[in-house]
């Protein structure tokens, strides 16, 4: 997607910003702060390449506190890259339930299979080789190279982007071509020369998570505040204008038969392999028995569920599930999982008669 241009001048990355000596001082201050304040996380305490790979996929668009219990369960169920590669997609998606963005789970699964087939089961260290794996972009490749192998590779996620943008008082939107190019070049200039990428990138990321937060940054506690050029930290980083939210409607059927529930499997790249309540082409005139809203890209979707009779025949992508085990046996999209949970709870605890 081509981002809109803005008429703002960005501070250029020049030969003296940061100078090699200033970059060295920044690294030293960050390292000292991180040793005292960095959180103990399982993939940091034991940064085995496979553990780092799993954590990086889970942490995409998801907070650390949410990821921790999922990471623990995942490593118990799939303790090695080979065990993940040889698992079925349905098992992978079922274990991922609750984290959302299921394309991450499918990509992680395919990445493990690719490592097994192309790299003899050993995760490559080279960021270019890492970037050739499914679901691994520039950030994830740099993160794995630095966190798993301690290489001086740049990795710019949302937290690091915020720290760097404030240090430079960047005026271009960070989601514009100019902004992204600036941040990646700035990140490269701050890197140690040979090793130490793990501690350096971890410190930058932790600084963004704990002190250099989007709102009310704790500048007085920041170890590199004397190097920061941000005049109004909360105004940085800037982003391009958001797209207008478009409302959508989704109508689904609640179909029971002989203690079984009819579900329909998604097709397509985004949610393929996941299950949901069967789609209705148009809503009936009766009131829905369940309704919720959820975001989807730049849409706000209203999901409504209506009771419906069993169909005479089933298409290939529909299947009956035992009603009391459907939640555990079918990997469901999050909105439909909420609907199923609420409707099952209502069936088990019907309202008292007046």
Phi, psi of 135, deg, nearest 5: 75, 5
Whether 194 sits among the annotated catalytic residues: the reply is no
Phi, psi of 130, deg, nearest 5: -60, -40
* Four-CA torsion 271, 275, 276, 277, nearest 10 degrees: 150
**Burial tier of 281 (Cβ tally within 10 Å: 0-12, 13-18, 19+):** exposed
8 A C-beta contact, residue 38 and residue 211: no
CA distances to 64, 158, 220 from 111, in Å: 22, 23, 42
CA 268 – CA 232 distance, rounded (Å): 44
Question: Which of these is catalytic: 9, 22, 56, 185?
Answer: 56
CA 226 – CA 26 distance, rounded (Å): 10
- Beta strands per DSSP E along the chain: 246-254, 256-257, 260-265, 275-276, 290-296, 299-307, 318-322
CA 14 – CA 150 distance, rounded (Å): 27
8 A C-beta contact, residue 252 and residue 339: yes
CA 147 – CA 194 distance, rounded (Å): 14
CA distances to 138, 141, 146, 197, 254 from 46, in Å: 23, 19, 14, 16, 46
8 A C-beta contact, residue 191 and residue 154: yes
SS3 state of residue 48? coil
8 A C-beta contact, residue 258 and residue 249: no
Which structure tokens are listed for 287?
């009131």
Specify the residue for token string 């000292």.
32
Return the active site residues: 56
């Amino acid at each position: 997607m081509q981002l809109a241009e803005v008429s703002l001048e960005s501070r250029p990355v020049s030969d003296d910003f940061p100078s090699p000596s200033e970059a060295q001082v920044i690294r030293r201050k960050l390292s000292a702060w991180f040793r005292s304040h960095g959180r103990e996380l399982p993939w940091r305490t034991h940064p085995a390449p496979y553990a780092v790979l799993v954590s990086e996929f889970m942490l995409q668009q998801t907070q650390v506190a949410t990821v921790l219990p999922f990471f623990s369960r995942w490593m118990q169920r799939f303790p090695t890259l080979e065990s993940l590669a040889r698992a079925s997609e349905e098992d992978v998606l079922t274990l991922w339930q609750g984290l959302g963005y299921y394309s991450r789970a499918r990509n992680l699964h395919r990445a493990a299979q690719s490592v097994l087939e192309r790299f003899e089961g050993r995760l490559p260290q080279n960021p270019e080789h890492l970037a050739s794996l499914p679901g691994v972009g520039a950030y994830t490749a740099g993160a794995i190279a630095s966190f798993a192998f301690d290489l001086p590779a740049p990795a710019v996620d949302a937290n690091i982007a915020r720290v760097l943008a404030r240090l430079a008082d960047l005026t271009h939107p960070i989601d514009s071509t100019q902004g992204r190019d600036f941040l990646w070049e700035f990140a490269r200039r701050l890197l140690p020369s040979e090793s130490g990428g793990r501690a350096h990138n971890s410190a930058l990321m932790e600084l963004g998570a704990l002190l250099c937060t989007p709102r009310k940054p704790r500048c007085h506690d920041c170890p590199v505040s004397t190097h920061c050029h941000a005049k109004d930290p909360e105004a940085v980083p800037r982003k391009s204008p958001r797209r207008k939210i478009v409302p959508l409607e989704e109508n689904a059927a609640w179909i029971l038969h002989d203690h079984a529930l009819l579900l329909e499997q998604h097709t397509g790249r985004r949610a393929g392999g996941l299950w949901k309540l069967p789609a209705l082409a148009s809503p009936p005139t009766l009131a829905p028995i369940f309704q919720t809203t959820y975001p989807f890209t730049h849409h706000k979707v209203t999901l409504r569920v209506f009771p419906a009779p069993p169909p005479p025949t089933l298409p290939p992508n529909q299947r009956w599930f035992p009603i009391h085990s459907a939640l555990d046996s079918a990997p469901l999209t999050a909105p439909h999982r909420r609907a199923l949970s609420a409707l099952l709870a209502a069936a088990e605890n019907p309202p008292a008669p007046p």
